[in-house]
Structure 1
């Protein structure tokens, strides 16, 4: 049962003031700095996204504790995160919007935002779900797993978060994993999310994947559950793009033997 449930007008809303009021209903957090810091960061980042990006009028905020787990749900009535990203970046479909969210530093308001909020929130909490425009992106950090599926949320965006009160995760450590000299310098896009299916063969697929990666010093390319890659995809990404962006190091990880063979075969010879 929710400890706090509110419908708020998005106009002139201040996310930190909302969190201050919500926090008063969650007395258990005061003696649990790990969960409290993560919850405060995640809540304010997601609510701020609704304020600045949704083009909606209202947001419904619910927070509760059940079985030693803090849960948060923030739902706006705007255009939907995935449709907004698709239209702003001229992406081919909504699945590509989900893929862009796994990169970090991708924002439609670069003058006011860094593009870090959803990226780090999805990695700081135990479970994260973003539902928008009929699709849902789910991240389970306890199982190191992700998923994409159909959602009943077709209007606006609904984000659901869960954090164990006894979590041993620390927000500073989450940032440190992707930071060099206090700069967001490392990314880990999930290859599987960039196309429907598990085969990546074309140069155009590689080009879509690589958009924005030059913003990072180091990028781990997660090939988990990718069955096959083609010569054109590998050459475009690891030779052509890498030669054009020598300051960004591409590191392929979690490859099956077939993918590893193609990637190693396509890497430039020294």
Structure 2
């Protein structure tokens, strides 16, 4: 039933369930109505506003809200004492492992990097999904990365996070926690200083802007299906070369190289996109959401960079005909030299 409800409520808060339940279970309308009534009685569903057809919301089964002082906090203690006991009976073993990995990584980031004093964790679980907010009162992740990595704009910090292997403390951190957490959860979102890095499973990364100002702190939002069977090993293997165990492959969303409404036409924009990708053996440039690129932009990537980094395998995906023409032209010019 958890998978059925997860599918029905995937992108809606209030849903009519009788007809889909009849079809999924092969049962009569009366039987479906009776089953829905039992789920309401057990707290799995809450009656909605619709009557013909009758609609429902998912009922909240678990609700945790806890504040901590960051000084002396240990991430595994938060997980083991406050969150794991609440989730164990609701989740598949695979989903529980994803939650343990993601929650401990995000709390550790707040402890080691935020320079804040307090942490708030809020978790809500229904029969289909579990959601969690983890927020600190520190400097703000995008502002901190921009400052310590000498980036020109906080929006570029989001591009660097999307690539992976980004850390402001390489002695103690690998730069993998945020990257793999964002790929492991169904929905992963970072909000800080009016910017949002948004990743939904099997969809491209997004940068959202909403009223930037002088706000501080970072909030991470995690959402995952309780019945999900996707394993952490599958996520890690997706970004490793065959028979290797290292993080050697990445997918870079080209759209995040744009600052605001600008077009991707210049060599400096290409260099912004290419920063640090020489840390990977295989790089896939994802052009989804990009309508056009300029000659200089394509030439800098597929001729100049590739000539200087022959050990990096550059690939591209989801490029339209105009972009493919620019890529082929740059590669052809490189072959002539």
Q: How many correspondences in the alignment?
A: 268
1:83-113 Cα shifts (integer Å, max 9, x gaps): 0111111212121111111110111111111
In structure 2, which of residues 95, 98, 121 is the aligned counterpart of residue 61 of structure 1?
121
Which whole-Å CA distance do the structure 1 matches of 2:281 and 2:97 have between them?
28
- Aligned equivalent of 1:81: 141
Instruction: Tell me the alpha carbon deviations over residues 192-238 of structure 1, each in whole angstroms, 9 at most, x when there is no partner.
Output: 01112362111111111111111100000111111111111111111
Distance 1:262 1:99, change over 3 A: same
The CA deviation at 1:17 is 1.2
Residue 9 of structure 2 aligns with which residue?
none
Q: Distance in 2 between matches of 1:160 and 1:32?
A: 20
Contact between 1:80 and 1:156, CA under 8 Å: does it hold in 2?
yes
Corresponding residue number in structure 2 for 1:25 = 86
Who is 1:190 aligned against? 253
Q: Give the RMSD, CA atoms, in angstroms.
A: 1.6
> What is the TM-score when the length of structure 2 is the normalising length?
0.76
What SS does the corresponding residue of 1:24 show, helix, strand or coil?
A: helix
**Could you say what secondary structure the match of 2:131 adopts?**
strand
Deviation of 1:66 (Å): 2.1
Map of 1:210 onto structure 2: 274
2:74 paired residue among 7, 11, 14: 14
Equivalent in the alignment of 2:335: 269
Q: Greater relative contact order (Cα 8 A, min sep 6): structure 1 or 2?
A: 1
Q: Is the 8 A contact 1:102 1:190 kept in 2?
A: yes
Match of 1:258 in 2: 322
Q: CA deviation at 1:152?
A: 6.8
1:259, 1:152 → 2: CA distance? 32
* Residue 156 of structure 1: aligned partner: 217
Q: Which has the larger radius of gyration?
A: 2
Structure 2 unmatched ranges of 5 or more? 1-59
Gaps of 5+ in 1: none
Separation in 2 of the partners of 1:233 and 1:59? 42
Which residue is equivalent to 2:177?
117
TM-score, scaled to structure 1: 0.94
